[in-house]
Amino acid sequence: MGTGKRIMLFAGTSNPALSASVAGALNTSLCGAQIGMFADGEISVRIDESVRGHDVFVLQSVCPPVNDRIMELLVILDALKRSSAGKITAVLPYYAYARQDRQESPRRPITAKLVADLITVAGADRVMSIDLHSGQIQGFFSVPFEHLRASRVLVPKIAEITADKDHMVVVSPDAGGVERARYYSKALSASLAIIDKRRSAPNVAEVMHVIGDVEGKSCVIVDDMIDTAGTLTKAAAALIERGARDVYAAAAHPVLSGPAVDRISNSALSKVFVTDTIPLSPAAACCEQLEVCSVGGLLGEAITRVHVETSVSSMFR
């Protein structure tokens, strides 16, 4: 391509299906690497081909088991750095530990910054991720950061719900997600509503108020991730109580911890659109409400643009 250097795509073990999809979008194949474990659980990596001077991309979604995935990524980056790769880009479709991006109370860690430091020290010259929990995480890195939007694949799917945009409302599940919801509402030419919620404990949310007109409307709750689905399903119930015609949801990252799949299956949600940044469990794959939109093409295009040194942000205008 433009630089005369070869794109070399390596993948960790976190998401084989997405890795194959990205390789297909790039019209290439995954480069060889041996990734395994010693008897005591230590991660072992061996790069099987020369990477000297080439443009190397490492695809690893930091999904459960999160700590194993992070360590695997760090070991791969270190192996590539010591193999004289020309430029190393860590491609993290899902960036874990992002929710701890500030000290909410004294004597607490900022793990989003800690993970950023680990990735940089391990050898990444650039980082790429999709829908960070908060945009300021980009500032935790001392190397360039490409922040991609899952809206590129989710907005067209949401647009199929109804042709009558006057009867569609994009809903933010909390005050922190208003900017994201506003972006979706503008892209869909839909109105905007906000849910004011209170948390009584971690992963426990109580819906208090719905700000905006949702009566008789098709509501779409947008968020960056679905973890235990407590917030999502309570938000859907609150919208139905206030007269919403039907409720959908869209989120980039289907973490789906604990009771999440059961909650979604028994909720008022008509459909939940997610991406394949995190592979679905067998139970989640059988959930009728969940529909997966692939980000393989999105990541492939972003990788190509980074390689030929053209604008990535123009993809989302």
Please check the confidence at residue 2 and state whether its pLDDT lies above 50: no
Residue 203 in this model has a pLDDT that exceeds 70: no
- Is the residue at 47 inside a domain? yes
Are residues 172 and 286 both part of a single domain? yes
Question: Is residue 2 one of the residues assigned to a domain?
Answer: no
Q: Which residue has the higher pLDDT, 74 or 167?
A: 74
pLDDT of residue 61: 95
How many angstroms separate the CA atoms of 211 and 193, rounded? 6
> Mean of the per-residue pLDDT values for the chain?
93
Range 192-207 average pLDDT: 72
- 67 near 97, Cβ under 8 Å? no
Residue 170 belongs to domain with CATH number: 3.40.50.2020
3-state secondary structure at position 297: helix
Residues 6+ apart with CB under 8 A from 72: 12, 13, 14, 35, 43, 45, 60
289 and 182 part of one domain: yes
Tokens encoding 239:
């919208």
Report yes or no on 303 lying in a domain.
yes
- pLDDT tens by residue, 210-240: 999 999 999 999 999 999 999 899 999 999 9
| Mean per-residue pLDDT, 69-89 | 97
pTM: 0.92
Same structural domain, 62 and 127? yes
285 & 309 share domain:
no
Position 156 pLDDT exceeds 70? yes
- Cβ atoms of residues 241 and 214 within 8 Å: no
Domain-embedded: residue 48: yes
261 and 197 co-located in one domain? yes
Q: Has residue 58 been placed in a domain?
A: yes
**281: exposed, middle or buried (Cβ count in 10 Å: 0-12, 13-18, 19+):** middle
Q: Is residue 310 part of a domain?
A: yes
Domain hosting 284: range is 151-293
3-state helix vs strand vs coil in the chain, percent to 5 = 35, 30, 35
Identify the CA nearest to 88 among candidates 101, 79, 98.
79
Q: Is the pLDDT of residue 158 over 60?
A: yes
- Tokens representing 220 are 């779409």
Are 305 and 146 spatial neighbours (Cβ–Cβ below 8 Å)? no
Specify whether 189 is located in the same domain as 143: no
Looking at the chain, the whole-number percentage of residues with pLDDT higher than 90 is 86
Sheet containing 218-226, strands listed edge to edge, beginning at the edge strand earlier in sequence: 204-211, 191-201, 168-172, 218-226, 246-254, 269-275, 290-293
Active site positions, annotated: 197
Residue 3 has pLDDT above 50, yes or no: no
Are 180 and 97 part of one and the same domain?
no
Are residues 208 and 134 located together in one domain of the fold? no
Cis amide leading into 156 (omega within 30) = no
Lowest mean pLDDT among 8-12, 154-158, 184-188, 195-199: 195-199
Q: What is the CA radius of gyration of the chain?
A: 20
Give the pLDDT band of residue 4 (cuts 50, 70, 90): low
**Total domains, the chain:** 2
- Domain membership of residue 287 (yes or no) is yes
The pLDDT value given to residue 163: 64
Please tell me whether residues 58 and 167 are part of one structural domain. no
Length of the chain: 317
At residue 178, does pLDDT exceed 60?
yes
Question: Can you tell me the mean pLDDT for 290-299?
Answer: 97
